[in-house]
A and B are shown apart, each in its own frame.
Chain A
Amino acid sequence: MLLLAALLGPASLFCLTAGAGLDFDRLQQALTSRFGPSSEPLFNDWRKMLAEGSTRSEAEKLRRVNDFFNRRIAFDDDFSIWGHSDYWATPIETIGNGRADCEDFSIAKYYSLINLGIPVAKLRLVYVKALQNGPNGPIQQAHMVLAYYASPSTDPLVLDNLIPDIRPASRRTDLSPIFSFNSAGLWQGTGNQSSKSNLSRWQDLLARARAEGFQ
């Protein structure tokens, strides 16, 4: 059992990094069984976008993924989607609902880019404090974006759903970063982790995505 766990950890990381061998049939099965056939066109488009993007440059991959989700998925808060706040949805859940919260956008983009072959080390999910203009003046809001680091020391590109364009972080004065993470080096339990209470929200999401067919 121990041996199995030790083998599974690195193996899943490797697959996530390489982005190879996504089992679309299995993903589709997971999607249809939960959300019905009506969600299939969006799924097929996503699949097509990934297929077309796989041979492009990294900049082009970023643009296509960012545009796909910003255009096709409507923003909504977790409470109205899931009935409770702060639910991290897997990409399949996001596609199935057609609606998503800010972290769901970032997660769906993160998974899609990894599938297109972007190394995990270049991607960071970043908690940011966002400054938005409201009817009564600017308001601060907790938000999440996906950052892309072409190299460790460069200014990252920000993939966001508030501002649909990809912009360098230095130009996003409305965002101030708090903390960042990715799935590199993350201990993911023993593969069939059933006691979810032991997992962080991030680990929980990884486990659910793995159950749907993301390696």
Chain B
Amino acid sequence: MRHAGRRIGLGLYVLALLLPIYWLVIMSFKTNTEITSGLTFWPRHFVFLHYHHIFNDPVWRHGFLTSVTYVALNTVISVTIALPAAYAFNRYRFLGDKHVFFWLLSNLMAPPAVYAMPFFNLYYAVGLFDTVWAVALAHCLFNVPLAVWILEGFIAGVPREIDETAEIDGYSFPRFFVRIFIPLIGNGIGVAAFFCFMFSWVEQLLATTLTATNAQPFIAVMSRTYSAAGMDWGLLAAAGVLTMIPGALVIWFVRNHIAKGFALGRV
């Protein structure tokens, strides 16, 4: 009996979690008339109209591509910068190392809105405004510190003696780092990349402030849809579903290591 009760409770909980996602997905296959006319749990007329619209509209397509580009750029830049930094923080002692390490984390505590204006002004002055680089670099502000923290935790799990053994074997530092060290913290790099991807993908304020038409991100295109006369419910729902897909794909790849990432590698 107790077993069954637990199962029912858990089932209800999962149902409650999945309900909004389910609703979003079925909305994207309904016509706008059906959405606004009452409660239906399954589309009466299954339509691909909204997806068709998005895939054939160059503005939507360009928005999606822009978002994917700056997120990928940001992930690569953040992890590439964070990797040597995390190694240094873990393996060497230098003046103020602990303070700098903590100060990095404090970058994550300020709301992005604080940085939106200085970034806007700076990028406008140097001609980066309205490019994918503007967003990719701005997102480094919170993603580099995050990646440093996650990677440092994973690096701490690799015994120092491995570094020394490689040194004794005669490896030069770059060769050791690429051939021996990076494979050892592969999981950590995957997790750090995932978190960078996620935060960059969902961030809206900096992404919309630092771009206009050339590099308009997907979310900006979405927000444009509700300001237009009347609301295109179905289109928005379809866009929402498409937004979730890359995240879901990435989660699938790192699903076994995510818990370690949330603990910043310190499990």
A and B from one complex: no
